[in-house]
């Protein structure tokens, strides 16, 4: 057992919400729960889950609804997964953003000042010793705005996060904190760490020579109307060689748009083709910008290589918290890659959830694995 940090992970497939939470807690309970995080399938009756979580003997509990769970046995659905941490070398501060619609720079600055006052190991927001974890309503359309504000007002500390899901129903996603599941909300967890850590961003796509010039779009609503002055869905369908009537998430997940931003590639995922031949995206796509069509590499090899790279940097990984896009899951489900992918998740005991979007520093993206690894 590592003396610097104790992490306990677990999950339950019990369909009864109360029993599922109880079974999870039996696996993760510690003498002192410094923080508990829960990743909850939206198929559960959330008020019942909420009631059960509220009874747990832990002061800091944060949770989210999911589009699937990452567990010690790999990818899971219809479960409640989670973990607890006990460590004298970590400190956790939670900023509850209770109203995303009205969240402002002023709100974030005030929260940052309050958290600096409460820091345990630091006198300022030191990017080498502090990182942030964001859980946010995945249907709010506010991720770009919120992550940008947080990055700018929290001294550019490293930030990773995931957007809440609801099993690809796209109806309602919720965040749990302060005894309540709620939409239009985010929880920002600021972690002080005297232990080595590394934040993670990885995906398996490379750009192709096929370019898409976005000639008409509504970034706020994440809709693209025209590509190269043609109806967006029709142009995209012709580009990937599929009849427009057959466009579906299976094709979108294998043929995303990708954008180069300061030398790094970020993925922009299509959610659906609309009746008016526009395309609905899972994050903002800018007008008058040129994107590349992405080509997939080996998703499992890419993830395994990234984890090995991090292991070389920080030594034995004690916790690997992952935010894994639901479209990555969709890409591998039912293929031979699924078992290989699960083996990587199990090898590193990854805990987390399948998301509707991922955050990394000041950026919101799709079809990406983000997360944080903490060493001992």
Instruction: Kindly state the DSSP code that residue 305 receives in the 8-state scheme.
Output: H
- The reply to whether 240 falls in a domain is yes
DSSP 201-232: EE--EEEEEEEEEEEEEEGGGTEEEEETTEEH
| Residue 10: per-residue pLDDT | 99
- Of the residues 275, 296, 317, the one at which a domain ends: 296
Integer-rounded Cα Rg, in Å, for the chain is 20
| Residue 151: per-residue pLDDT | 97
pLDDT category of residue 359 using cuts at 50, 70 and 90: very high
- 257-303 pLDDT per residue, tens: 999 988 899 999 999 999 999 999 999 999 999 999 999 999 999 99
- The reply to whether 326 falls in a domain is yes
| Residue 109: per-residue pLDDT | 97
Q: Which two tokens stand for residue 96?
A: 């509850």
| Residue 84: per-residue pLDDT | 98
| Residue 371: per-residue pLDDT | 99
DSSP 84-107: EEE-TTEEEEEEEE--GGG--HHH
Same domain (yes/no): 214, 236: yes
- The reply to whether 1 falls in a domain is no
The dihedrals phi and psi of 11, each to the nearest 5 degrees, come to -160, 160
Same domain (yes/no): 227, 362: no
* pTM, two decimal places: 0.96
| Residue 336: per-residue pLDDT | 84
Same domain (yes/no): 259, 172: no
Is the per-residue pLDDT at 1 higher than 80?
Answer: no
Q: Determine the average pLDDT of the residues in 84-95.
A: 98
Same domain (yes/no): 134, 252: no
Number of residues that make up the chain: 376
Is the per-residue pLDDT at 348 higher than 90?
Answer: yes
Burial class for 311, CB neighbours closer than 10 Å (0-12, 13-18, 19+): middle
Three-state SS for 117?
helix
| Residue 133: per-residue pLDDT | 99
For 242, the domain range is: 205-296
Same domain (yes/no): 50, 102: yes
User: Domain count of the chain?
Assistant: 2
Helix or strand holding residue 192 (H, E): strand 186-193
> CA-to-CA distance for 71 and 341, rounded, in angstroms?
12
- 104-161 pLDDT per residue, tens: 999 999 999 999 999 999 999 999 999 999 999 999 999 999 999 999 999 989 999 9
CB 362 within 8 A of CB 148: yes
pLDDT averaged over the chain?
Answer: 97
Is the per-residue pLDDT at 375 higher than 90?
Answer: yes
Burial class for 1, CB neighbours closer than 10 Å (0-12, 13-18, 19+): exposed
- The Cβ of residue 336 has, within 10 Å, a number of other Cβ atoms equal to 9
Same domain (yes/no): 114, 222: no
Q: How far, rounded to the nearest angstrom, does the alpha carbon of residue 28 sit from its chain's CA centroid?
A: 22
């Amino acid at each position: 057992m590592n003396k610097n940090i104790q992490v306990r992970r677990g999950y339950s497939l019990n369909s009864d919400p109360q029993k599922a939470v109880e079974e999870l807690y039996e696996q993760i309970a510690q003498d002192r729960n410094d923080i508990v995080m829960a990743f909850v399938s939206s198929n559960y009756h959330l008020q019942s889950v909420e009631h059960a979580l509220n009874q747990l003997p832990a002061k800091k509990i944060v949770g989210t609804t999911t589009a699937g769970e990452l567990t010690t046995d790999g990818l899971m659905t219809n479960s409640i997964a989670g973990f607890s941490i006990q460590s004298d070398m970590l400190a956790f501060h939670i900023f509850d953003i209770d109203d995303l619609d009205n969240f402002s720079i002023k709100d974030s600055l005030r929260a940052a000042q309050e958290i600096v006052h409460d820091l345990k190991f630091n006198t300022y927001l030191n990017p080498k010793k502090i990182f942030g974890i964001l859980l946010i309503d995945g249907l709010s359309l506010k991720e770009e705005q919120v992550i940008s504000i947080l990055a700018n007002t929290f001294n550019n500390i490293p930030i990773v996060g995931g957007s809440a899901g609801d099993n690809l129903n796209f109806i309602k996603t919720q965040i749990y904190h302060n005894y309540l599941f709620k939409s239009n909300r985010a929880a920002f967890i600021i972690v002080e760490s005297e232990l080595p850590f590394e934040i993670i961003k990885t995906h398996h796509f490379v750009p192709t020579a096929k370019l898409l010039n976005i000639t008409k779009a509504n970034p706020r609503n994440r809709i693209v109307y025209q590509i190269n002055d043609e109806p967006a869905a029709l142009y995209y369908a012709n580009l990937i060689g599929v009849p427009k009537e057959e466009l579906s998430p299976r094709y979108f997940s294998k043929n995303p748009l990708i954008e180069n931003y300061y030398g790094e590639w970020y993925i922009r995922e299509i959610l659906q083709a609309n009746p008016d031949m526009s395309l609905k995206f899972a994050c903002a796509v800018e007008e008058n910008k040129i994107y590349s069509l992405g080509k997939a590499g080996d998703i499992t090899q890419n993830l395994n290589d990234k984890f090995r790279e991090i292991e070389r940097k920080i030594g034995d990984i004690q916790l690997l918290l992952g935010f894994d896009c639901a479209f990555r899951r969709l890409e591998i489900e039912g293929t031979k890659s699924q078992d290989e992918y699960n083996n990587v998740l199990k090898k590193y005991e990854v805990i987390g959830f399948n998301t509707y979007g991922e955050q990394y520093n000041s950026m919101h993206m799709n079809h990406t694995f983000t997360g944080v690894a903490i060493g001992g």
